[in-house]
C-alpha cells in the first residue's frame, strides 16, 4: 500500500480530532495447491489489501481496520476511529513509541523477498512429487495428501510521530502426510517446511520420504506404565518448549504480574552456558523484519545469556508501565493495539548430538510429537500429551503413545541440556533437549 495514501490517512485523522495516529497497510497474495491420490484436490488463491488505523485522543485510543480503501471508506474509517477513541477509557501508558526509539536511516537488507512467483502447475508438480515419494516408502499404505504453496506480503507503517517504513516478504512451502498400517492399526507421519526463498526448501522428494519414514516407524506403538525418567525432546519440536518462556517474559504479562518468572530478571534460570537468542535481522529468516510494529529499531538480543534471564519483551506501552524502554518487540495486527512477540528465536546448540544425549541418559523417552499443552502461568506447572519412542541402553527400543509429560518449568529450565543437532526449520528453532527425571504418566 502506497506510503502517500497512509500519510494522507494519518493527516486526515489528526484533522478529525486525533492527537496522534498510526496507519498500517497490508497487502497479500497467496496460492496453495493440495493433491491427494495423485489428483488435484484443492486450489486456494487469495489477494487482499487492508488498512489499519490506530488513533489517540489524549490517553484514550482506538483501533479499526477495513478492506475497502476508497476515499469514502477511508473517511468513514477515520471518523469511526476518532469517535471510538473519545469514548474509550483512559490508559495512562497509551501512545506512540518515543521518537528517539524509532528506526532511522537505511534499514537492514534482509533478503526476505523472492521475486519468483510460481504458477499453479509448478506448485501442483511439487506436491505430486512429494506425495509420490511418501506413497513409495515401504510400509506406507496411503497418504493424507501433499501441498505446496507460495505467498507474498507487503507491510507499510506510517505514524504521526515521524516514522514511515515498508518491507516486502515472500514464503514458499511444501508438505506431505503419509499413512502406514498393519494388523495392529494405523499411524500417520508428516513432514513440511517453509522458507522465504523457494530455493532454500528441501526437495519435495525428501519431504515425502521423511513423512513416510515417520509414519512407518510409529507402527506398533505401545502404552507404558507411569514412571519418572529422562526425556529428550526431538529438535523438530523442541522449540515449542520456548513458547511458555516467551509468554512468561512478555512485558504485558510482567506488568499484570501474571508470570512465574516475574521476579527472575537478572537471575540464572537455565544451566550455565545456555543461550537463547532472538534475531529479527537474520537474512531470509521467517520471523525477520527491519523494524518492529511500532516503527522501533529492533536487533538481536540474547534473552537468556549463560543461563541468565537478561530482559523482558517490551513494546512502548508495557515499557512505560514498567518504567523501562521498549526493546523493539512490538507486534500487531490491523485491528488491535500492539502486543509483543519474538522474531527468529534460537536455542543455541550444545556439543552432543541426539544419539549422544540418549547415550548419556541411558534409558528414557524420546518425544517426537506433542499436543494439548497445559500451563499455569503463575506457577509454571506444565504438562503436555506426547508420543515418541522409548530408548534403552542409549538405543531406540520401541514406539510409545498416549503418554503425558509434566513438571514445573522453572525446574525443567534449570536442567535442560541442549544437543548439537540444531536445524533451522522455521522462526523458532532448538536442538534436541534433554531433561533428566521428568514425570511420565502412562497407563
Predicted local confidence at residue 403, as pLDDT: 96
Sign, CA dihedral 195-48-280-418, equals: negative
pLDDT confidence of 182, banded at 50, 70, 90?
A: confident
Q: What is the mean pLDDT of the chain?
A: 96
pLDDT confidence of 52, banded at 50, 70, 90?
A: very high
Rounded Cα–Cα distance for residues 168 and 181 (Å) = 44
Interval 54-80: pLDDT, tens: 999 999 999 999 999 999 999 999 999
Predicted local confidence at residue 343, as pLDDT: 97
pLDDT at 180 over 90: yes
Predicted local confidence at residue 105, as pLDDT: 83
Predicted local confidence at residue 99, as pLDDT: 95
Interval 376-394: pLDDT, tens: 999 999 999 999 999 999 9
Predicted local confidence at residue 1, as pLDDT: 61
pLDDT confidence of 39, banded at 50, 70, 90?
A: very high
- Domains in the chain, CATH or no CATH each: 3-217 (3.30.2290.10), 221-443 (no CATH)
Interval 255-281: pLDDT, tens: 999 999 999 999 999 999 999 999 999
For cell 544437543, what's the residue?
419
pTM score: 0.95
Interval 217-261: pLDDT, tens: 999 999 999 999 999 999 999 989 999 999 999 999 999 999 999
Predicted local confidence at residue 337, as pLDDT: 93
Whose CA is closest to 183, among 236, 153, 219?
Answer: 219
Interval 342-355: pLDDT, tens: 999 999 999 999 99
Confirm if 18 and 56 have CB atoms less than 8 A apart. yes
Predicted local confidence at residue 146, as pLDDT: 98
For cell 531406540, what's the residue?
396
Q: In the numeric block, which cell numbers belong to residue 228?
A: 519418572
**DSSP, res 267:** S
Predicted local confidence at residue 36, as pLDDT: 97
Confirm if 384 and 372 have CB atoms less than 8 A apart. yes
pLDDT at 183 over 80: no
How far apart, in Å, do the first and last CA atoms of the chain sit?
A: 56
Interval 405-430: pLDDT, tens: 999 999 999 999 999 999 999 999 99
Q: In the numeric block, which cell numbers belong to residue 205?
A: 522428494
Q: With the CA atoms of 122, 126, 127 and 133 taken in that order, what torsion angle do they form, in degrees rounded to the nearest 10?
A: 160
Predicted local confidence at residue 419, as pLDDT: 98
Rounded Cα–Cα distance for residues 169 and 29 (Å) = 11
pLDDT above 70 covers a percentage of the chain that reads: 100
pLDDT above 90 covers a percentage of the chain that reads: 96
β-sheet bridge partners, residue 305: 308
Helix locations, 353-434, DSSP H: 354-361, 409-415
Interval 89-115: pLDDT, tens: 999 999 999 999 999 989 999 999 999
SS3 content of the chain, % helix, strand, coil (to 5): 25, 40, 35
Amino acid at each position: 500500500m502506497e506510503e502517500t495514501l497512509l500519510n494522507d490517512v494519518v493527516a486526515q485523522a489528526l484533522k478529525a480530532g486525533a492527537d496522534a495516529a498510526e496507519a498500517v497497510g497490508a497487502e497479500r497474495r497467496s496460492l496453495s495447491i493440495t493433491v491427494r491420490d495423485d489428483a488435484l484436490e484443492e486450489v486456494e488463491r487469495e489477494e487482499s489489501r487492508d488498512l489499519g488505523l490506530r488513533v489517540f485522543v489524549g490517553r484514550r485510543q482506538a483501533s479499526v481496520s477495513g478492506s475497502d480503501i476508497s476515499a469514502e471508506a477511508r473517511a468513514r474509517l477515520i471518523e469511526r476511529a476518532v469517535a471510538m477513541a473519545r469514548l474509550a477509557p483512559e490508559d495512562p501508558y497509551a501512545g506512540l513509541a518515543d521518537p528517539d526509539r524509532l528506526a532511522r536511516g537505511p534499514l537492514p537488507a534482509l533478503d526476505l523477498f523472492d521475486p519468483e512467483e510460481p504458477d499453479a502447475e509448478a506448485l501442483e508438480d511439487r506436491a505430486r512429487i512429494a506425495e509420490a515419494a511418501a506413497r513409495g516408502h515401504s510400509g506406507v499404505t496411503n497418504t493424507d495428501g501433499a501441498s505446496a504453496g507460495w505467498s507474498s506480503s507487503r507491510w507499510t507503517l506510517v505514524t504521526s510521530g515521524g516514522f514511515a517504513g515498508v518491507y516486502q516478504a515472500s514464503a514458499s512451502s511444501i508438505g506431505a502426510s503419509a499413512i502406514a498400517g498393519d494388523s495392529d492399526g494405523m499411524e500417520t507421519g508428516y513432514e513440511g517446511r517453509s522458507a522465504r526463498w523457494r530455493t532454500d526448501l528441501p526437495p519435495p522428494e525428501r519431504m515425502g520420504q521423511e513423512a513416510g519414514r515417520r509414519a512407518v516407524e510409529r507402527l506398533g506403538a505401545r502404552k507404558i506404565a507411569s514412571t519418572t525418567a529422562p526425556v529428550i525432546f526431538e529438535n523438530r519440536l523442541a522449540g515449542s518448549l520456548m513458547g511458555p518462556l516467551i509468554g512468561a517474559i512478555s512485558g504485558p504479562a510482567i506488568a499484570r504480574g501474571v508470570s512465574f518468572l516475574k521476579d527472575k530478571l537478572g537471575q540464572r534460570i537455565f544451566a550455565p552456558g545456555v543461550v537463547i537468542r532472538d534475531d529479527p535481522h537474520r537474512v531470509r529468516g521467517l520471523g525477520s523484519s527491519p523494524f518492529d510494529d511500532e516503527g522501533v529499531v529492533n536487533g538481536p538480543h540474547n534473552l537468556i545469556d549463560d543461563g541468565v534471564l537478561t530482559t523482558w519483551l517490551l513494546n512502548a506501552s508495557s515499557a512505560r508501565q514498567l518504567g523501562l524502554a521498549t526493546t523493539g518487540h512490538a507486534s500487531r495486527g490491523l485491528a488491535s493495539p500492539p502486543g509483543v512477540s519474538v522474531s527468529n528465536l534460537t536455542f543455541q546448540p550444545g556439543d552432543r548430538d541426539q544419539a549422544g544425549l540418549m547415550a548419556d541418559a541411558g534409558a528414557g523417552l524420546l518425544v517426537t510429537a506433542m499436543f494439548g499443552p497445559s500451563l499455569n502461568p503463575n506457577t509454571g506447572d506444565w504438562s503436555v500429551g506426547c508420543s515418541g519412542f522409548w530408548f534403552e541402553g542409549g538405543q531406540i527400543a520401541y514406539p510409545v503413545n498416549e503418554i503425558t509429560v509434566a513438571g514445573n518449568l522453572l525446574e525443567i529450565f534449570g536442567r535442560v541440556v541442549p544437543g548439537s543437532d540444531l536445524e533451522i526449520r522455521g522462526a523458532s528453532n532448538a536442538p534436541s533437549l534433554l531433561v533428566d527425571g521428568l514425570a511420565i504418566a502412562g497407563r
